Amino acid sequence: MRLKFVFAAITALVIALWLASVDWALMSGGIWSARGLLVPLTGILAMAFMAAAILLAARPVQVETALGGLDKFYRLHKWLGIGAVVMAVLHWLVEKAPKWLVELGWLAPRQRAAGAAAEPRPFADYRDLASDLGEWAFYLLLVLGALALWRRFPYHLFFKTHRLMAALFLVLIFHTIVLTPASYWTAPISLLMIVLIGTAAVAAGMSIFGRIGKSHRFTGEVTDFHFHEGNSVLDVGVKLTTAWPGHAAGQFAFLKFAGTERAHPFTISSGWANTGRLAFSIKGIGDYTRRLPGIIEVGQAITVEGPYGRFDFGSAEGPQLWIAGGVGITPFIARMEAITIAGQSQDVDLIYSTGALDDAFINEVRRAADAAGVRLHIVDTGLEGFVDLAKLAVWTPGWRSADVWFCGPSKFGDSLYQAMHADGLPAGRFHRELFDMR
């Protein structure tokens, strides 16, 4: 909801400033006049969306609270990216279509009104180059956008190709500067666009030179690990060798093990006790996480970038219902540890739904729940099926008065949220962590 509002607010602000920037006296009506309006509008919107998306990709922790955490604003980044591609397509169509109509003989070529002054053309020598570069950048944008949305395209290749967006953006800045109509440079929209594009250009540079997240990177080494065969979860203990700022239960970090190709996000599954120790539980679901148990070593160097996220369990007052699907149990393990470390008590029911039971792992969860005084309900989905409201009514009859915190597969979260919302739970009382950034 909050993300939709931010997306709508950016769109409305750009359109409002654009409306205030158009010289309506020059509009004479007809297709050419409409084209003269829509080409800048679609171009400005495409650049504004792309700039905002690139700013978010730079992981500005300052906006985490406002946007609900890094996992959420990567979702906004995705919508902004889609918005940029849609606007770029419209920009290209509005630019090209009247010319095609002229070639077909269906539209008269543009005539300058008798006596009308020629439009001033700054950067006249670069206009053809800017136009050609813009067109090629547009085609590449379409390809990169399609690859980003095509879920079967492997993540590690998506990650590499997606970084080209930063370079593409710099090319499109050149296109924009050279081809923006002269009248827009002194209009209200220009101030917003200069600030937005300028800061996004810095973010694009940071991406190209690998500097994103650098100030939040800490080093450490693997102290212990254990692979649970029953649920394919690798427990990893890490000792930090540089000063960690501490974290709230439910936050996550990007982990890069020495000798592996790139960082992956994992929830920190331990509470913070100022000991420099962090724990993670990593489920083997793809090529990297399945390979990890075979290559991890005690003493292996590790880079931990974080902490990020705002899945922070809100206030400790009032009853809470926690629902975990599979490895979505990790933020709840961290929270139970944090409650125990702080010596707090809280009215909590934890439903841990899993199709892959591993006795040792379940015992870890049980021990953490007992120590924190959390009521644990383990659901073996193979025997009992998926969690639904009818089952909740039996296990936790008072759930309607609780705040719900969910972490697990997105389809599970969607169906649970819809059922609970339809049953009267206000949207603001259903909190969820997104385990997927794409």
What Cα–Cα distance (Å) separates residue 154 from each residue in 61, 189, 195, 260, 413? 27, 39, 35, 16, 24
Site string for ligand FAD, 280-319 (x = CB under 6 A): -xxx-xxxxx-------------------x----------
Tokens of 213: 């997240």
Question: Which residue, 83 or 307, has its beta carbon nearer to ligand FAD?
Answer: 307
| Helix, strand, coil share (%) of the chain residues, nearest 5 | 55, 15, 30
User: What are residue 290's phi and psi, to 5 degrees?
Assistant: -80, -30
Checking DSSP bridges between strand 348-354 and strand 375-380, what pairing results, if any?
Answer: parallel
Question: Which residue, 75 or 91, has its beta carbon nearer to ligand FAD?
Answer: 75
Q: Which residue has the tokens 């060798």?
A: 241
Closest of 324, 331, 211, 209 to residue 265, by C-alpha = 331
Beta bridge partners of 282: 234
Closest of 72, 155, 79 to residue 434, by C-alpha = 72
Shortest approach of ligand FAD to residue 438 CB, angstroms? 4
Question: Which residue, 267 or 270, has its beta carbon nearer to ligand FAD?
Answer: 267
| Total residues binding ligand FAD (CB under 6 A) | 25
Residue nearest to ligand FAD (CB): 286
User: What are residue 232's phi and psi, to 5 degrees?
Assistant: 55, 40
| 327 part of the interface to ligand FAD, by CB under 6 A | yes
Question: Which residue, 175 or 310, has its beta carbon nearer to ligand FAD?
Answer: 310
Shortest approach of ligand FAD to residue 396 CB, angstroms? 24
One of 232, 267, 354, 396 touching ligand FAD (CB under 6 A)? 267
| 435 part of the interface to ligand FAD, by CB under 6 A | yes
Question: Which residue, 42 or 281, has its beta carbon nearer to ligand FAD?
Answer: 281
| 265 part of the interface to ligand FAD, by CB under 6 A | yes
Shortest approach of ligand FAD to residue 211 CB, angstroms? 17
Closest of 312, 319, 348 to residue 431, by C-alpha = 312
Closest of 387, 330, 389 to residue 355, by C-alpha = 387
Question: Which residue, 168 or 334, has its beta carbon nearer to ligand FAD?
Answer: 334
Tokens of 341: 């470390």
| 437 part of the interface to ligand FAD, by CB under 6 A | yes
Which of these segments, 172-180, 215-223, 259-267, 397-405, binds ligand FAD (CB under 6 A)?
259-267
| 257 part of the interface to ligand FAD, by CB under 6 A | no
Helices (H), 180-271: 188-208
Shortest approach of ligand FAD to residue 256 CB, angstroms? 9
Contacts of 99 (CB under 8 A, 6+ apart): none
Question: Which residue, 74 or 399, has its beta carbon nearer to ligand FAD?
Answer: 74
Question: Which residue, 108 or 437, has its beta carbon nearer to ligand FAD?
Answer: 437
Grouping H, G, I as helix, E, B as strand and the rest as coil, residue 385 is coil
What Cα–Cα distance (Å) separates residue 126 from each residue in 43, 169, 337? 18, 18, 62
Shortest approach of ligand FAD to residue 154 CB, angstroms? 6
141 vs 134: CA distance, rounded Å: 10
One of 184, 252, 332, 430 touching ligand FAD (CB under 6 A)? 252
Shortest approach of ligand FAD to residue 153 CB, angstroms? 9
Shortest approach of ligand FAD to residue 242 CB, angstroms? 22
Interface positions, 70-89, toward ligand FAD (CB under 6 A):
71
| 176 part of the interface to ligand FAD, by CB under 6 A | no
Which of these segments, 123-131, 201-209, 421-429, 430-438, binds ligand FAD (CB under 6 A)?
430-438
Shortest approach of ligand FAD to residue 141 CB, angstroms? 21
Interface positions, 119-158, toward ligand FAD (CB under 6 A):
154-155
**Contact present, 348 and 322 (Cβ < 8 Å):** yes
178 vs 372: CA distance, rounded Å: 62
| 266 part of the interface to ligand FAD, by CB under 6 A | yes
Q: Which residue has the tokens 């991406």?
A: 207
Shortest approach of ligand FAD to residue 289 CB, angstroms? 3
Grouping H, G, I as helix, E, B as strand and the rest as coil, residue 147 is helix
**Contact present, 335 and 312 (Cβ < 8 Å):** no
Which of these segments, 112-120, 131-139, 276-284, 353-361, binds ligand FAD (CB under 6 A)?
276-284
| 436 part of the interface to ligand FAD, by CB under 6 A | yes
| 251 part of the interface to ligand FAD, by CB under 6 A | no
What Cα–Cα distance (Å) separates residue 237 from each residue in 233, 234, 263, 268? 13, 10, 17, 10
291 vs 302: CA distance, rounded Å: 16
List residues binding ligand FAD (CB under 6 A). 71, 154-155, 252, 262-267, 281-283, 285-289, 309, 327, 330, 435-438
